[in-house]
């Protein structure tokens, strides 16, 4: 596991939490197995350099709030693509679970990959791990990474509350302006300063 820049240091049995990424830092580069369009393959974060990247972590497949979020990102997929932003969903489920869930919940139609952090290494690295579901799962976390691999935005919330996909899209577009955006800014509105 490496950051886009210098390699992260390993210590003892794994990554130390002092290496957790912060806004303004290089986002960690990692490869996870994922499922999309009936196929499983490896997805590497650094391959998305040159485009905006939205990674959203969710607790588990076959739950209650998670399908609403996955569907929400799918419903807004074209808008993210127009904004030159790719989407990756991540949970600690296996790719086989992702496959079964996408077939069951979405009729096999999901426009973006769901990645498997089955060993929970990335969830722990990012400091978004919790045991509130009986086993270790990810909290609801959203990361927006710019085309240079820099983390520009992150939000982590309680697993009982679904995130706002439209707010995530708004933040992507606000970050892309490069300017100062006031409260509740929307695309097309005046910036405070460019």
- Catalytic residue (one of 53, 54, 66, 88): 66
For residues 105 and 67, the answer to whether their CB atoms sit within 8 Å is yes
CB environment 82-98: b (16+ within 10 A), e (fewer): ebebbbbbbbbbebebb
Calpha distance 10→61 (Å, rounded):
30
Calpha distance 29→33 (Å, rounded):
14
Token couple for 150: 């820099």
Report residue 23: phi and psi, to 5°.
-55, 135
Alpha helices in the chain (DSSP H): 66-75, 77-82, 95-106, 121-125, 165-177
Question: Would residue 36 show up in a list of annotated catalytic residues for this protein?
Answer: no
Calpha distance 3→159 (Å, rounded):
27
Positions marked catalytic = 66
């Amino acid at each position: 596991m490496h950051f886009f820049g210098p390699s992260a240091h390993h210590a003892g049995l794994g990554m130390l939490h002092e290496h957790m990424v912060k806004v303004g830092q290089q986002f960690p580069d990692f490869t996870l197995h994922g499922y999309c369009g009936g196929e499983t393959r490896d997805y590497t974060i650094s391959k998305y350099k040159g485009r905006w990247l939205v990674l959203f972590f969710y607790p588990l497949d076959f739950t209650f709030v998670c399908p609403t979020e996955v569907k929400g990102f799918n419903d807004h997929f074209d808008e993210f693509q127009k904004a030159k932003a790719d989407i990756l969903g991540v949970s600690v489920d296996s790719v086989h679970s992702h496959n079964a869930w996408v077939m069951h919940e979405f009729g096999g139609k999901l426009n973006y990959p769901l990645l498997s952090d089955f060993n929970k290494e990335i969830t722990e690295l990012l400091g978004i791990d919790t045991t509130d579901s009986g086993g270790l799962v990810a909290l609801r976390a959203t990361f927006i990474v710019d085309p240079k691999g820099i983390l520009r935005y992150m939000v982590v919330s309680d697993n009982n509350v679904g995130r706002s996909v439209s707010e995530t899209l708004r933040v992507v577009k606000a970050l892309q302006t490069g300017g100062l955006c006031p409260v509740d800014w929307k695309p097309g509105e005046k910036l405070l300063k460019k």
